[in-house]
Structures are given as structure tokens and as C-alpha cells.
């Protein structure tokens, strides 16, 4: 326990006594909730029994009414169960902060306790703990002692914070108390960051920093782009922002209205716990490949992003690099747009038509056809027929006979120069004079880099059907890995608010990495914010990573640990020996996760063979993986994106492995996954990217 003045133990005793009082009140509320739950369960049981025993005497309508009543009781029970869950969590840790705030209109200050959930003592009619998202709770995040202000629903409230305290209460015990005005360094944050990892992302409500809080509570920007260095909390903040918006707009926004585009299933699982922990329902997530498949109505088979990266890393083919660089450029999008305009014009050659001896001019058909760009071809022709028929009716006072209507449809269909999407797209490269830039991926599949350009073309020429029209807020993580064409498609499909986050230094494919400026082209009204403080890795790890990929704006947190080690190995067998001894050291430590990160999937499989006999519980992550558990994890740098581990070993960082700019980014990603310890091995000469880092 840590307090400031001489009366520390009095303060401590008072806080301890208050904690006990709050716990008693929570306990009492819990008893009430338990009782209500039992009552609901009994009620449902009784109603079911009644329905069963009286079913022969009931008519159809009575049975429906009885079933509805059972459902209603069950739903009410679920609601109470959610409250029970929240109260149980509060019982273990009711709050983490206290501010004594005196508003200008009040005579004295009132203590405001801030926790993960709200607790209203119904018996006393009093708010005991405020939800961290409540307007008054913003005082805790935004101010130290002194003048302060918060935005209440009825207007701004000015006043003064007379006292501010932070607590760590775990398992119902007050473990730490800090008088904030005295401690300049945030000890609670330091202590939190020093803890061992979990297999899932944690909530950070107790230690949200001021700049992070401003992003979380930004409810005005329709599209918010968060650019942040590795470990700056971008993903955490995006999820806390969702929790905040769900709270702030609870009457109009629900978890079903939110969608997260995430890089892979392991990452999706890794973050899936955060919103439920914050008392919200989990939200749906989707990968770009699934989205693409939906938008193309499942009509094309294509390579996955992961396979494209693997091809790039394992074959290192110059032609592939050129294709990806071009398709990832803003110029490509512009040219594709030009091409779409031309195809659109040529695709439909309207002609004058005589139908039932009535004249229909080409310009009218052309205008009508162009108006319905968003419809699929079949529906579009149908719609044109309907409208032309109406015009004939108005102008000539004549209703077409079925046979004449068929004739009109055939004539209009004949004006369309039909072509498959694939060949229209392929011809784009002929039009450009660069046919070599279109190259299928083999086995009848398209290259991943061609998928979104094809969707873009489809969108422009035929229109696409999206299942996600209901989405009101879209979260896009790892924004740097999506190209301008992908953003152009996303901007059309999701006409909703967005949180877009990423870091240009972590682009897995530097051929087509996208920054905030480029994203703003697709979303002109977007605002962007920067986060430069890095929280995940120790100071020493971050300094090491900085030498691989320097960023003068990055500010590592002052949390010290062991310096990273670079281990030279004589050969592959020696490397395997070194890795085994590092695994043994990890097993004997207090840490929970160790990741061995390889450059390619092939290398990861080779390491798996060398290590599984020594450590059978080894988990290798690949595109099929859905999650990981604490223990030893083997994966590529690409798979490790967005994840974090207590310890990381980057294997075989040799001169013949890590060569290009892309390798530098991957090495940077790999190193910045480590929270507490980092080691790198190499066989023969080390990569030139390590030359600076190891000095
Ligand atoms: N205010 C905070 N309090 C406590 N922990 C924090 C805070 N901000 C960030 N962290 C921790 O820092 C780590 C990195 O957070 P997160 O994964 O959200 O960062 P990121 O910017 O998305 O990282 P990257 O781009 O490197 O994947 C997590 O362990 C997170 O809990």
C-alpha cells in the first residue's frame, strides 16, 4: 500500500472500510439478484409444467400465448443474469479510481468512484460506482487535482478535483492505493505492463492514458484513422471506443450493428474477449477474403493474402513484386476508374427501336439504361423494359401486348455487349498495354491482388449486393495492409462510421502499403490521430526494434528489462539446441507465452520438426488456426501481427533470410511482439538489419 502523507494509515483504513462497505452493498444486491433468478427459473419451470399438463385442454391460440409467456420470462431471466455477472465482477474489483470533485455550484466535494461497471444501490437509491464510460468518469482520465470539467448531458460542469486516487483491487482485496497528486510516474500503469501475458487481449480501463481517452470518447468523427507505433494500444483503443459508443448511443446502436475487419481468425479470437469483459456483447468479425467471396457471389476462386505473402517471401519473384506494387498504387485505382468509364460507355450500344409501330429513340433507351448502374444486368434490362413500356403508355396511349414486351426485351438485351467480369478485367491490362500484369495464381485461381480490383469493376459496371448494409460502425485493423482499391470498395460497401487503425512500419507487403493520407482519398471527411507512445515492450526491446526500423517520433515506455540477445549458431542443429534451451528457460520462468517467430511458413514447419519431440505441446499457427493457448507458439511474423507474447525468439535472422525492405518490416513486427524478453538466432552471417540493432 502506498500513500503520501503521515496519516497514510488512517487514509488506508478509511479506504479499506469503504471498500468493505461497498462490497457488502454489492453482496446484498447480488443476493437480491440471485433470488430473482431463482424466481424466474421457478416461474419458467411452472409454466412449462402447466403447458405440458394442460396441453389437451388448450386450443392453438392458448398454446402460443403460453409459449410466449415462457419466452418472456426466460428473456427477463437472461437480463437479470447479465446483471448478476456484472455484480460478481464488481464484487471482485468494484472500482479502480476515485476523484473528489467539487462543482462550482456545490459547497463541498463528492467522491466519485470509477469502475468497470456501474453500481447503483437500489436500496439506498445511490450511485456507488460509476461506469468508466459515464460522463463524470472522464474526470478520472482527463485531470489531476485542480480545475477540471466534464461534459454532462445537460451541459459542461466546471469545478475542482480536490483528491485523486488509484486502486488495484483483486479478488476483493485492496492491493495497491496511490495518491495521484504525489506520484508523477504512473505506478499502476508500470505495474500493469510488467505483468505476464494472457492468451487474450486485456481491458485497459484502469490505466487508459489521456490521449487514448480522447480517441475512445471521440463520438463526432464519422471516420477516425488511428495511426500509432507498435504497441501504442491502437487495437485496445478501437475496442474500448466501440464499448464507449455502445454505451453512449445505447438506444440506437447495438453490438449487431458493428463489424470488425480483422487480418485472421487467431487475431479475431485474441481480441474477442475484450468487449464481453467490458460488459458488452461480442461483435461480428470478417476477413477480407470472406468479404470478397461474398461480393463476388462465390463465383471466383482466389488465393488468400497469406498465400500471396508466402509466394512473395519464398519465391521472391521480381515480376510478382511489380504486379503487387502497381496494383497497390493510387495510380492503378485511377486508371481502373478510367477504364470502367470507357467500358460502361461501350458496353451498351443503344439503337432506335420500333415497337408496335411506335418509335422509341436510342437516346431514351441509353439514358434509362445508364440510370440503373447499380442493378445487376438481368434486373437492369428488366427495369429498362418496364420504364420504356411506361413511356410508350404515356406518350402513345398504348399498352404493349405480352409478345411486344418480349420483343422489346430482346431488342434491349441485344444492345448489351455481354462479357464475363474476368475477361473485362483481363482486358484492362491489354488496354493499359501491360498484359503481363495479369497472371492467374494457378489451379484456376486468381491472384489475391486481382480480387478487389475485380470487385471494384463489378461495382462500377453491374453493382454488388452486400450483406452488410445494416452495419453502422466498421472497424478496420492493420489498415496499412489494404490497398487504395480495397478502400475504394470498402467506402462504397460500408457507408457508415468507421475506426481505421494501423502502422505503416508494420506493413507486411511494402508493395502497396497504405498510410492515412491515402485512406483519406477514399474517406474525404476522415480525421486522423497519432499515438507515439509504445506500451507493450520493455524500453530495451523497443530501443532494439528502433534500430531496425527507426521512427524518431516513437516514445518507448520507461519500463526496464533484460536487453535482447542475438545468438550466433554454428548450424541448424546448433540453432535447434539453442532454441531448446531457451524453451527450457521459459518453462522454468513465471511467463505464460513464448513465441518462436519464423520468416516463412516453410521455415516454421522446419522448426516444428526440430522442436516437437522436445516440446510436444508446441502450437504452430497457420491459416487454418483459430486460436492459441498459453505455452510455446510457433508462427510466421505475418501471423504474429497484432498479437503479443511474454517472450519472443526470432529464429534464423541470417543474412540470407532477411534481406529486403519487406524483411525489415517483418523483423520489426516480430521483435515488437515481445513484452519482456527478446532473443534472435542466426546461422552464419546475421542479417544486415541486425547490424545496427546489435551495436
Ligand atoms: N493505457 C494502457 N494501459 C495498460 N496497457 C496498455 C495501455 N495502452 C496499451 N496497453 C497495452 O499495450 C499492449 C499493446 O496494445 P495493442 O495491442 O492495443 O497495441 P497496438 O498499437 O494495436 O499494437 P501493434 O500495432 O504493435 O499490434 C497491450 O498489452 C495493451 O494492453
- Contact predicate 631/591, CB 8 Å: no
How is residue 442 annotated by DSSP?
B
Residues with CB under 6 Å of ligand 1 are 189, 192-193, 202, 204, 207-209, 212, 228, 230-236, 503, 506, 535-536, 642, 644, 672
Dihedral in degrees, nearest 10, Cα atoms 621, 627, 630, 634: 0
- Contact predicate 531/499, CB 8 Å: no
Backbone φ, ψ for residue 501 (5° rounding): -135, 150
**pLDDT of amino acid 8:** 67
Q: How far is the CA of 125 from the centre of ligand 1 (A)?
A: 38
Instruction: Please give the angle made by the CA atoms of 642, 257 and 504, to the nearest 5 degrees.
Output: 30
* Residue owning the nearest CA to atom 23 of ligand 1: 231
Question: 608-632 burial by CB neighbour count: b if 16+ within 10 A, else e?
Answer: bebbeeebeebbbbebebeebebbb
pLDDT band with cut points at 50, 70 and 90 for residue 418? confident
Q: CATH for 539-694?
A: 3.40.50.300
Q: How far is the CA of 356 from the centre of ligand 1 (A)?
A: 71
Please name the residues in contact with 21: beta carbons below 8 A apart, sequence gap of 6 or more: none
Residue 228 has pLDDT above 80, yes or no: yes
Beta partners for residue 473, in sequence order: 258, 497
Residue 161 has pLDDT above 70, yes or no: yes
The ligand 1 atom at the shortest distance from the C-alpha of residue 673 is: 26
Measured on CA atoms in the order 658, 662, 664, 670, is the torsion positive or negative? negative
Measured on CA atoms in the order 171, 172, 173, 175, is the torsion positive or negative? positive
The ligand 1 atom at the shortest distance from the C-alpha of residue 477 is: 22
Category of 443 on φ-ψ map: left (φ > 0), alpha (ψ -120 to 50) or beta: left
The ipTM assigned to this model is: 0.99
pLDDT band with cut points at 50, 70 and 90 for residue 123? confident
517-561 pLDDT, tens digit each: 888 888 988 999 999 999 999 999 999 999 999 999 999 999 999
How is residue 598 annotated by DSSP?
E
The ligand 1 atom at the shortest distance from the C-alpha of residue 192 is: 4
Helices 330-346 + 318-327 axis angle, to 10: 70
Name the residue of 186, 191, 231, 675 to mutate for ligand 1: max ligand atoms within 8 A of Cβ: 231
Dihedral in degrees, nearest 10, Cα atoms 8, 10, 12, 14: -150
Least trusted range by pLDDT, from 317-321, 335-339, 577-581: 317-321
Q: pTM for this one?
A: 0.89
Please name the residues in contact with 1: beta carbons below 8 A apart, sequence gap of 6 or more: 8, 12, 174, 176, 177
pLDDT band with cut points at 50, 70 and 90 for residue 694? low
- Contact predicate 597/238, CB 8 Å: no
**pLDDT of amino acid 512:** 61
Q: Enter the C-alpha cell of residue 152.
A: 454532462
Q: CATH for 210-297+471-487+495-518+526-534?
A: 3.40.50.300
- Contact predicate 118/109, CB 8 Å: no
pLDDT band with cut points at 50, 70 and 90 for residue 181? low
Amino acid at each position: 500500500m502506498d500513500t503520501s502523507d503521515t496519516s497514510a494509515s488512517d487514509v488506508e483504513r478509511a479506504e479499506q472500510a469503504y471498500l468493505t462497505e461497498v462490497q457488502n452493498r454489492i453482496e446484498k444486491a447480488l443476493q437480491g439478484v440471485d433470488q430473482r433468478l431463482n424466481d424466474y427459473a421457478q416461474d419458467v419451470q411452472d409454466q412449462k409444467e402447466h403447458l405440458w399438463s394442460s396441453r389437451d385442454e388448450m386450443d392453438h391460440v392458448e398454446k402460443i400465448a403460453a409459449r410466449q409467456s415462457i419466452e418472456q420470462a426466460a428473456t427477463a431471466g437472461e437480463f437479470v443474469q447479465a446483471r448478476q455477472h456484472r455484480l460478481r465482477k464488481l464484487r471482485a474489483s468494484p472500482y479502480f479510481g476515485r476523484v473528489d470533485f467539487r462543482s462550482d455550484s456545490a459547497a463541498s466535494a463528492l467522491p466519485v468512484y470509477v469502475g468497470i461497471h456501474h453500481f447503483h444501490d437500489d436500496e439506498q437509491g445511490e450511485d456507488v460506482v460509476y461506469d468508466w464510460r459515464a460522463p463524470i468518469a472522464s474526470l478520472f482520465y482527463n485531470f489531476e487535482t485542480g480545475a477540471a470539467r466534464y461534459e454532462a448531458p445537460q451541459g459542461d460542469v466546471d469545478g475542482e478535483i480536490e483528491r485523486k486516487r488509484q486502486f488495484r483491487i483483486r479478488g476483493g482485496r485492496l492491493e495497491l492505493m496511490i495518491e495521484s497528486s504525489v506520484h508523477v510516474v504512473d505506478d499502476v500503469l508500470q505495474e500493469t505492463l510488467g505483468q505476464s501475458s494472457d492468451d487474450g487481449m486485456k481491458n485497459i480501463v484502469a490505466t487508459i492514458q489521456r490521449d487514448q481517452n480522447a480517441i475512445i470518447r471521440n463520438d463526432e468523427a464519422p471516420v477516425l484513422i488511428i495511426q500509432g507505433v507498435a504497441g501504442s494500444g491502437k487495437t485496445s483503443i478501437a475496442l474500448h471506443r466501440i464499448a464507449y459508443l455502445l454505451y453512449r448511443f445505447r438506444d440506437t446502436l447495438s453490438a449487431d450493428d458493428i463489424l470488425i475487419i480483422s487480418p485472421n481468425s487467431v487475431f479475431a479470437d485474441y481480441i474477442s474477449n475484450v468487449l464481453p469483459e467490458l460488459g458488452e456483447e461480442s461483435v461480428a468479425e470478417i476477413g477480407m477474403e470472406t468479404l470478397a467471396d461474398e461480393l463476388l457471389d462465390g463465383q471466383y476462386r482466389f488465393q488468400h493474402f497469406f498465400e500471396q505473402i508466402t509466394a512473395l517471401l519464398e519465391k521472391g519473384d521480381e515480376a510478382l513484386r511489380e504486379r503487387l506494387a502497381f496494383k497497390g498504387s493510387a495510380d492503378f485505382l485511377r486508371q481502373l476508374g478510367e477504364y470502367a468509364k470507357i467500358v460502361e460507355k461501350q458496353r451498351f450500344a443503344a439503337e432506335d427501336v420500333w415497337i408496335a409501330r411506335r418509335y422509341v429513340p436510342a437516346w431514351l433507351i441509353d439514358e434509362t439504361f445508364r440510370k440503373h448502374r447499380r442493378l445487376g444486368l438481368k434486373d437492369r434490362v428488366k427495369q429498362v423494359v418496364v420504364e420504356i413500356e411506361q413511356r410508350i403508355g404515356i406518350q402513345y396511349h398504348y399498352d404493349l401486348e405480352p409478345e411486344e414486351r418480349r420483343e422489346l426485351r430482346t431488342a434491349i438485351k441485344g444492345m448489351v455487349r455481354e462479357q464475363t467480369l474476368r475477361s473485362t478485367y483481363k482486358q484492362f491490362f491489354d488496354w493499359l498495354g501491360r498484359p503481363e500484369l495479369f497472371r492467374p495464381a494457378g489451379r484456376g485461381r486468381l491472384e489475391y491482388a486481382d480480387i478487389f480490383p475485380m470487385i471494384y469493376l463489378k461495382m462500377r459496371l453491374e453493382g454488388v449486393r452486400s450483406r452488410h448494409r445494416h452495419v453502422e460502425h466498421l472497424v478496420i485493423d492493420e489498415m496499412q495492409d489494404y490497398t487504395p482499391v480495397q478502400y475504394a470498395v470498402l467506402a462504397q460497401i460500408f457507408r457508415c462510421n468507421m475506426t481505421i487503425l494501423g502502422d505503416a512500419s508494420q506493413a507486411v507487403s511494402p508493395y502497396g502499403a497504405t498510410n492515412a493520407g491515402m485512406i483519406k482519398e477514399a474517406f474525404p471527411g476522415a480525421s486522423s490521430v497519432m499515438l507515439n507512445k509504445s506500451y507493450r515492450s520493455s524500453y530495451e526491446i523497443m530501443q532494439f526494434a528502433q534500430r531496425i526500423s527507426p521512427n524518431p517520433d516513437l516514445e518507448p515506455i520507461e519500463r526496464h528489462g533484460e536487453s535482447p540477445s542475438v545468438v550466433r549458431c554454428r548450424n541448424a542443429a546448433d540453432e535447434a539446441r539453442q532454441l531448446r534451451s531457451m524453451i527450457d528457460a521459459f518453462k522454468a520462468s513465471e511467463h505464460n507465452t513464448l513465441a518462436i517467430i519464423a520468416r516463412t511458413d516453410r521455415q516454421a514447419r522446419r522448426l516444428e520438426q526440430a522442436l516437437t519431440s522436445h516440446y510436444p505441446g508446441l502450437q504452430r499457427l497457420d491459416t487454418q488456426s483459430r486460436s492459441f493457448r498459453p505455452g510455446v507458439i510457433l508462427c510466421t511474423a505475418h501471423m504474429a501481427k497484432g498479437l503479443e507474447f511474454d517472450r519472443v525468439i526470432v529464429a534464423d535472422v541470417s543474412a540470407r533470410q532477411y534481406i529486403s525492405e519487406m524483411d525489415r518490416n517483418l523483423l520489426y513486427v516480430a521483435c515488437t511482439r515481445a513484452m519482456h524478453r527478446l532473443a534472435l538466432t542466426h546461422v552464419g552471417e546475421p542479417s544486415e538489419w541486425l547490424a545496427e540493432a546489435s551495436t
